[in-house]
Amino acid sequence: MSVLESKIPEGPIEKKWTKHKNEINLVNPANKRNIDIIVVGTGLAGGSAAATFAELGYNVKTFCYQDSPRRAHSIAAQGGINASKNYQGDGDSDYRLFYDTVKGGDYRSREANVYRLAEVSSNIIDQCVAQGVPFAREYGGLLDNRSFGGVLVSRTFYAKGQTGQQLLLGAYSAMNRQINRGKIQSFNRHEMMDLVLVDGKARGIIARDLVSGNIERHSAHAVVLASGGYGNVFYLSTNAMGSNVMAAWRAHKKGAFFANPCFTQIHPTCIPVSGDLQSKLTLMSESLRNDGRIWVPKHEKDAKAIREGKLKPTEIAEEDRDYYLERRYPAFGNLVPRDVASRAAKERCDEGYGVNKTGQAVYLDFKAAIERYGKEKAFTSGHKNPSKEEIIRLGEQVVESKYGNLFEMYEKITDQNPYKTPMMIFPAVHYTMGGLWVDYNLMTTIPGCYAAGEANFSDHGANRLGASALMQGLADGYFVLPYTIGDYLAEDIRTGTISTETEEFVTAEKEVKERIQKLFDAKGKNPVDYYHKKLGRIMWDKCGMSRNEKELKEAMEEIKELREDFWKNVRITGKAETKNAELEKAGRVADFLELGELFAKDALERNESCGGHFREEYQTEDGEALRDDENFRFVSAWEYVGNPRDAKLHKEQLEFENIELKTRSYK
Amino acid sequence: MKLKLKVWRQEDAQDKGGFKNYDVDGIDGDMSFLEMLDVLNNNLVNEGIDPVEFDHDCREGICGSCSLQINGEPHGPDRRITTCQLHMRKFKDGDEIVIEPFRATAFPVIKDLVIDRSAFDRIQHAGGYISVNTSGNTQDANSIPIDKQDADDSFYAATCIGCGACVAACKNASAMLFTSAKVSQFALLPQGKIEAHERVLEMVHQMDKEGFGNCTNTGACEIECPKGISLENIARLNREYLSASVFS
């Protein structure tokens, strides 16, 4: 019997959430005033949860490492947010959104959670519009939609390429209103260093004020972790520099199970790595694949000549190009899902057909689109015999109106003009589907400790669809947690304020201080970045887009050795009692050095290929992922027992009652 | 590339601070300005010297954390970008680069190049919202059609990233461009009109209280703004403010 209780309500899937809301406990408004909630992280999930808790009457404390909640990395999301509004009348429904999400996740997510997500998605759009989020509109004044990520309907709402920014500022404006009322206390430039448990319940956190260096105790009746994903374990990713796993990992070490750590999304269209000193990768929106064609040279000698700078891509004739996605997946072509597109790019580069100085890039070419649009435009403007120059000029105008800001961004970074020469792209780590295990109420295995947004594991299975991360963050924060947390807090109406003077808080604070001291005491020779880069290299080479038993075992050993070396030889300059970016980084990298090992172990034990997790041993004859539903139709939830490699596996069996399990095929 | 850096170093808010000179070598044109600072910091750590503190996070021009005054210009010598989007190909071998924090009374220095911009947050707390609960029981999103031009203008105002370059560029250290962008976003939408008067009065009041200077329509803010927020927003704020002062 598993210790994991998912607490999925009984009944038909479309009735579960309503039934659950009707049956759970409520806290009366007067009692809410006596209850405190801590929210760690102020992105879409944390910001929206904090605002809603405060509106309901709870006393909220928020924590973020940035200088303002508005800078959380949700702000960088470009493309859009899905909702089953069916404004386009193209046959969308809650069921379809639910179905697409479960299928896109390669059948490794929990049906009931995903259905609820689809069910509340429409409400998110209503809510955001009421708050003044300026979504894109049509000339008639109604909201515009676009299609995304290879689904069959147009359900994505957007605000140009800055949807995440606009939604986050919406959530922050709701927070502002509550900060102004005194219902939210916002602790910025603060980092959660540990979770405090009293009688087995989450009752507070230890935080470090990143300006003064003070270690502070904060108590509450419940703690919500909305601290984002752990993609930075790879060092290079599209995450923000400060994105980290500390809050989730500290909770894990205190008893919260960590689910599916190896489920990572590698996004196919990012700007390739340019040099060894690069710190960060930049995503180019998935929408570019609607019009761009992906290719590499057909002949290895051409690829080599390009790498050496002796040949230009525009000099390669049409018949000497290999449009490998169109070749391998004729039905979906360049619009296959993210995991499939990423692996195909890697395969070509591994075989020696990669371009760029490094050989780690493929082309995304708009030449055909420019010509097609140019001809169309010329025709509709009455030029029946346009010259080639005319066609290109008109075509470039159309492409600019669709993707202008992305092309401009590309040119700023690479100094190349993508209208004249194909873009170069390569996959990069973007999102982590894995995270803290939560039940239907979003509670972790620690009573009173909740996880929301990217920090939990529940909705995206083994691969996330485009425009679904924003939806999940806001669904968790605005519409799920405000109900489910009340069910738990109903027991706390007589508890009163939690004291921070108890032994539990004293001990936790002492441990945090000792850990910081230990980092300084190493007095070694290597900067923190030295370790982070090395870890990233191991993760990318051995736990990245394709994985095998031998390399995963090696990765576990190498990470363990690197971690031991880190604690002996890291060098932290400066003092703990002041702003100290090196110390901040060190604490985060120390946790990544533990998580990385669990990540590899999880990937090693999952003997199947599904979604973003591709095990070379488990593939079909033509190199496609081979899922094993009979033996691996479960969530791996890891319990911390001392060392990451000794973590104990608990399985949550996944039941599919509303969707038939099928092989994903895009051929 | 080899560069001579003149970097502002300041231990904490109380310290007077001053410039220190550092040389960096091996800088490639494809590196971003912040990656160049990473190289400097790695060198400093190896020499046992405290690295230079600077704010940065997303490194793709959207979070608004980075805030460097480079050779006297907020975000350096390129237009419509943040510091993290400035690439070293804009400089040449042997250049001297002066790096300071954004300077304004309302943005005190915390350490080195890190400043305290919480004044911006307090302006937003004062009224940067529409008073609607997040319970989800609002009307259908399409029940209020909005003129496309207004929706687009509202969006352009809302693209402000709150970095503070407008304040740093202004000879009066005025926060009018920032405040007007927030006021405009809501004033242009029907949802925001109901509280428009209180909002503009409260936000301007808070802005003045924080010690920002007055706007004298010089327009440096618009030129240095990484998102190209238009001066029209300031004109709109002035209209809104006047109307609110007369009618409320």
**C-alpha of B95 from chain center:** 26
Tokens representing A80 are 């859009």
How does pLDDT run across A341-386, given as a tens digit for each residue?
A: 999 999 999 999 999 998 999 999 999 999 999 999 999 989 889 9
- Mean pLDDT to the nearest integer, A324-330: 94
B-facing residues of A in 571-590 (CB < 8 A) are 571, 573-574, 578-582
Positions of A marked active-site: 338
> Would you call A173 and B128 a contact, using CB atoms and an 8 Å cutoff?
yes
**% of chain A residues with pLDDT over 70:** 99
Residues of A in contact with B29 (CB under 8 A): 415
The H or E element spanning position A430 is strand A423-432
Q: What is the mean pLDDT of chain A?
A: 95
Interface test with B, best of A277, A282, A471, A582 (most B CBs within 10 A): A277
A135 vs B contacts (CB less than 8 Å):
141, 151
Q: What is the pTM of this model?
A: 0.97
Say if strands A184-187 and A59-63 run parallel, antiparallel, or are unpaired: parallel
Distance from CA of A230 to the nearest CA of B (A): 15
Q: Which residues of B touch A51 (CB under 8 A)?
A: 134
Identify the DSSP state of B53.
Answer: P
pLDDT 10s digits, A169-208? 999 999 999 999 999 999 999 999 999 999 999 999 999 9
Token duo for residue A322: 């290999």
Each of the 248 residues of chain B gets a pLDDT tens digit; together they read: 999 999 999 999 999 999 999 999 999 999 999 999 999 999 999 999 999 999 999 999 999 999 999 999 999 999 999 999 999 999 999 999 999 999 999 999 999 999 999 999 999 999 999 999 998 788 999 999 999 999 999 999 999 999 999 999 999 999 999 999 999 999 999 999 999 999 999 999 999 999 999 999 999 999 999 999 999 999 999 999 999 999 86
Residues A582 and A528: beta-carbon distance below 8 Å: yes
pLDDT of res. A1: 41
Residues 420-449 of A with CB under 8 A from B: none
Give the CA angle between residues A119, A58, A493 to the nearest 5°: 105
Domains (range + CATH), chain B: 3-111 (3.10.20.30), 117-247 (1.10.1060.10)
| A630 vs B: CB within 8 A | no
Are the C-beta atoms of residues A455 and A41 closer than 8 Å to each other?
yes
Q: Collect all residues with Cβ–Cβ distance below 8 Å to A506 and sequence separation of at least 6.
A: none
C-alpha separations of A594 from A231, A246, A645 in Å: 14, 11, 9
Domain ranges of chain A: 267-429, 502-625
Give the residue on A whose Cα is nearest the Cα of B109. A211
Q: A187 — phi, psi (to 5°)?
A: -100, 95
Task: Name the minimum distance, in Å, from the CA of B132 to any CA of chain A.
Answer: 6
Residues of B in contact with A479 (CB under 8 A): 136
A144: DSSP letter: P
Q: Which helix (H) or strand (E) holds A114?
A: helix A111-131
| B34 to chain A, closest Cα gap in Å | 9
* Closest partner CB to B57 (pick from A87, A169, A242): A242
Fold of A502-625: Methane Monooxygenase Hydroxylase; Chain G, domain 1 (1.20.58)
CA A42/CA A68 separation, integer angstroms = 9
- Cβ(A650)–Cβ(A257) under 8 Å? yes
- pLDDT > 90: what percent of chain A? 88
Q: How many CB atoms lie within 10 A of CB A502?
A: 16
Residues of A in contact with B55 (CB under 8 A): 67
Residue with tokens 């579960």: A16
DSSP classification of residue A476: I
- List the structure tokens of A372: 């097609």
**A411 shares contact with chain B (CB less than 8 Å):** no
Cβ contact, residue pair A573, B65, below 8 Å: no
Q: Which of B103, B130, B129 is nearest to B117 (CA)?
A: B103
Is the CA virtual torsion A615, A616, A617, A622 positive or negative?
positive
Question: Strand ranges (DSSP E) for A1-63?
Answer: 36-40, 59-63
Question: Is domain A267-429 annotated with CATH 3.90.700.10?
Answer: yes
Interface A:B, Cβ pairs < 8 A = 217
Q: Which of A286, A260, A612, A585 is nearest to A436 (CA)?
A: A260
Say if CB A539 and CB A555 are below 8 A apart: yes
Residues 6+ apart with CB under 8 A from B230: B156, B222
- Closest residue to A579, CB basis, from B57, B81, B111: B111
Question: Do residue A67 and residue B53 have CB atoms under 8 angstroms apart?
Answer: no
